[in-house]
Structure 1
Amino acid sequence: MGDAGATQKPLKIAIVGGGIGGLSLLLGILNHCDPTVIQPHLYEAAYAFSEIGAGVGFLPNAVRAMRAVDPKLYEAYTRIADEAPRATVNGQKKFEFSRAMMGMDGRGGTNTLKALDHICTIYNDNRYRHVHRAVFLDEMINLLPNGFEGGLVSFNKRCTDVKIQEDGVTALFADGTSENVDAVIGCDGVKSLVRNVLHGGQEQCEPQFTGKYAYRGLVPIEDAVKVLGEKALNQMMTLGYGGHLITFPVDRGQTLNIVAFRSASDWNHGSSWVVPATVDEVLEDFKEWSEPIKKLLALLQKPDKWGQFDLPPLKTYVKDGRVALLGDCAHAATPHQGAGAGMAIEDAAVLGRLLGEITTPDPAQLIRAFVAYDTVRRERTRKLVTTSRSRGLLYEFQFPDIGDNDVMIRDAMVRQWDWIWDLDVDAHCREAISLMHQPPSVVNGFQ
């Protein structure tokens, strides 16, 4: 395709999925793109925007990506992000790691720490870190133009198929309707329909159980403080044999978010990856842990049990300048580095900026934008998948040649987030834009 194939009508972009990734991309397109050139529309399967889960943490790179998507998104985030009282060092929030002392069953020998003894503390420059997912999503929705339904967003639109054609793409929906567009961008999560279309439903592109599940729930902060003391006011990771806990305040310090991971040989709940759980079930899984942890878990109300799945490395996130993948549908990772949602916002920042470089509604420019996006984003996001899975092993004393050695665990932890946190998002976007504007022969995969 070339300039001669350009049309005077705007390029129609269908965004499939209205979670954090899909909404970030929509906001990025609205902020960076000429509406006479790019016309986005988001299709959400549910009857309204919604997010499952409770707290979500955003690392410094994710906060910078919010600015790159739209400064108003960053401003909204800083209004709602948790600023609960907590220990600080030079104004920086503390991320504390401690150890849950479980029954020593002969695997030890290097252990000298008692329950909840401090292992290490890691600092970052993100003054605003945690939010409740639903509250953050509401703030994103508030940034959309008034009366966005119909013009920008359609609900109850579960995508069932995507057909790539010579002159565009047809998206089919469960209600029997279809839409002819110039491109489809899948933001539909780890069970993505769009990914299956792009990769032909290949088994090696399907989610894999990672050998862990997690209980998630909330506890009033005043109750958590009675059990953990000041530790409840900090983000804290508690390590143990075959399990670990993440705890951090949300709701401006009123609530403690708890995620308790356990190792498992398989997932016995079929296609349901989130199932109800009981407090008794949680306590049985952590019966050998220290008393403060068991008392904290006993406070959970209506916990859920989440299977931990990730994606194998995909060969590409784009196809024919017609289909692209963003967020979890491209690179779903376990949450052991707290970077999944942030990587989706990074994706949206890069792709939104690339689409903003298109100055005429020429489908050939979509190919350039998509290939540049894939080239810049794929290596970084695939690295997140592999390193996150290995961190889950580290936290539960299962990492080869490290095991439960506190010194080696500390050394690994203090460095493990540098490559994630330190990304210069603006430079990352400029790299993608530069690649987009290279001659076709220079852009790997350009057709």
Structure 2
Amino acid sequence: MGSIDPPNRQFTVTIIGAGVGGLTLALGLIRNKVPVDIYEAAPDFKSTGFGISMGPAAHRALTLIDPSISKAYDALVTTHADSPGYESFRRTWFELVWTTADKCGEVMTNLKAKTLGQTSVHRGHFLETLIGCLPPGKVQWGKSLTEMRETAQGVSLRFEDGSSTVADVVVGCDGIHSRVRQHMLLGEPIRPQYSGMYAYRAVLDMATMIEAVGERRARVATMYMGHGGYVVTYPIMRAKQVNVGLFKLSSGWEHDTWVRLASRDEMKRDFGHMGDAVRSIVQRIETPSQWAVLDIPHMSTYTRNSITVLGDAAHASTPHQGAGAGQAIEDVHVLAELLGDARVLRREHVKAAFHAYDAIRRPRSQWVVSTSRDMGHMLSLSLGTVCPGEVELKHRLNERMALLWDLDILGQADIARRVMLQHFSWIV
């Protein structure tokens, strides 16, 4: 049997941003024989960053986008099974523990997925592996976008280094401070906004964490729920270290930058009422950083003509559901399936694909942004004037996670494809 010729694509997809969204999209498009260019503002690659987590739905999508992505993730991933004796927690996302005076230290619930629970990788290591999966030289570094303008020929792009190009179509994967979004929605300025919480972040060695809270609490991903805030800990780096986040409700952010150096005394002030375990964790964090927890307002659209945005550029979320990176992966799966369809050959077809992507992905991803804020309040025992009882709280949590985790990934892409093909009928 002879080989099937690849589709005669009359367009190249220009990706702005070489983060998780941009790189996974590039791999998914290349797999589907779609030409790709990638521009990244950073001068070169640096393996920096904290851990990132993927929920079950996003984890299932990795293989569907490109098996090399799931292979890269699984080669680096930390799960509960990396701690000998804790294999039975493989399905656990987090254990939720009370810090209120009457129940301090008691486990409220063990949130479990149907298959794989808590997973995390070091962001920098994951990106480095993804870059290695691309053809050599595919990422053009030091390309900070300064101007974007649509013309009859395509999308004119100008960069800070003085270079320029004309793209057929553009996908902005350039994060919460996206310049693609800024240029795309000139009449609708969408800027990062303070979400009503700030956080302290730190990484502790596993041995230090065991000393602080004991073996089980150190090795099992835990959320400590308290009045006015909560604390999250989970193992990373194959259970050699523990990622720590301490989240505090606060109506305002009074600092000039979104990130600042903080002190242990500030943490004690914010979390000293949350029991011995939390106080012990705080005592072992020597140089904490304090971060304003941001998201972005809902946008009226994720696309305009030959331009679209995905991931944090479209729907940056607070981290309270561990779903931000996963939403980018869900975006990528839908967009790669649409643009990779053999019937998508011209720029006009891409516009229909972008419309379908927006129609399907915007409602779900914006729901995640809204419910993530709600989750922060839920974990901080601050849901209006009446705090739900334990049974109601468990019900809300399990219902929420099922909606996040049990998505029909293939079904979502199929619906988007049907929407796209309906729009094909309008193309002359």
Report if TM-score (shorter chain) is over 0.5. yes
Match of 2:303 in 1: 318
Distance across 2 between alignment mates of 1:439 and 1:248: 45
Q: 1:163-215, CA deviations, whole angstroms, 9 ceiling, x for partnerless residues?
A: 01122001111111111111111111111111111211534x22221110111
Map 1:31-430 onto structure 2 (within 5 A). 31-32=31-32, 34=33, 38-50=34-46, 53-83=49-79, 84-85=82-83, 87=86, 89=88, 92-93=91-92, 95-101=94-100, 112-113=102-103, 115-124=104-113, 125-126=115-116, 129-145=119-135, 147=136, 149=137, 152-200=138-186, 202-203=188-189, 205-229=190-214, 230-270=216-256, 272-320=257-305, 322-359=306-343, 361-400=345-384, 402-403=386-387, 405-430=389-414
1:289-325 deviation line (CA, Å, top 9, x unaligned): 21221111222243221111112211110101x1101
1:78–1:128 Cα contact (<8 Å) kept: no
CA 95–223 in structure 1, closer or farther in 2 if over 3 Å, else same: same
Alpha-carbon shift at residue 438 of structure 1 (Å): 2.3
> Aligned-pair distance for 1:19?
1.0
Q: Structure 2: which 5+ runs fail to align?
A: 1-7
Asked if the contact 2:89/2:220 (under 8 Å) is kept, the reply is no
User: Any idea what SS the aligned residue of 1:215 has?
Assistant: strand
1:128 Cα shift?
Answer: 6.5
What amino acid sits opposite 1:140 in the alignment? L
Alpha-carbon offset, residue 10 of structure 1: 4.2
Write the distance in 2 (CA, Å) between the matches of 1:127 and 1:420: 12
* In 2: Cα distance, 1:366 partner to 1:10 partner: 10
The aligned amino acid for 1:211 is G
* Counterpart amino acid of residue 128 in structure 2: D
Q: Partners of 1:398 and 1:52 in 2: how far apart?
A: 34
- Residues 201, 193 of structure 1: alpha-carbon distance in 2 compared, 3 angstrom cutoff: farther
Quick one: distance in 1 between partners of 2:93 and 2:350? Answer: 43
**Cα pair 1:56 1:133 within 8 Å, conserved:** yes
2:28 is paired with a residue whose SS is helix
- Whether the 8 Å CA contact 2:232–2:245 is kept in 1: the answer is yes
Distance 1:258 1:180, change over 3 A: same
Change over 3 Å in CA distance of 1:52–1:282 after alignment to 2: farther
Partner Cα distance (2:110, 2:9) in 1: 55
Deviation of residue 426 (structure 1)? 1.7
The answer (yes or no) to whether the contact 1:19–1:50 under 8 Å persists in 2 is no
Change (3 A) 1:305 1:243: same
State how far apart, in whole Å, the 2-side matches of 1:43 and 1:90 are.
41
Partner secondary structure for residue 288 of structure 1: coil
Note the C-alpha offset of 1:12: 2.4
CA distance in 2, matches of 1:21, 1:323: 16
Q: Greater CA deviation, 361-370 or 399-408? A: 399-408
User: Percent identity among equivalent residues?
Assistant: 32
Contact kept? 1:188, 1:329, Cα under 8 Å: yes
**SS of alignment partner, residue 349 of structure 1:** helix
Partner SS, residue 161 of structure 1: strand
| Deviates most, 422-431 or 355-364 | 355-364
Aligned-pair distance for 1:360? 6.4
Q: Which residue matches 2:28?
A: 28
The count of aligned residue pairs is 416
The one-letter amino acid paired with 1:81 is V
Structure 1: gaps of 5 or more residues: 1-7, 103-111
Task: Provide the alpha-carbon RMSD of the alignment.
Answer: 2.1
In the TM superposition, residue 354 of structure 1 has moved relative to its aligned partner by 1.0
Please say which of residues 186-195 and 89-98 is displaced more in the overlay.
Answer: 89-98
Report how far residue 275 of structure 1 moved.
2.3
- Residues in 2 aligned to 1:123 and 1:358: alpha-carbon distance in whole angstroms: 39
What TM-score, normalized to structure 2?
Answer: 0.91
Shift of 1:277: 2.5
Closer/same/farther in 2, CA of residues 257 and 372 from structure 1, 3 Å limit: same
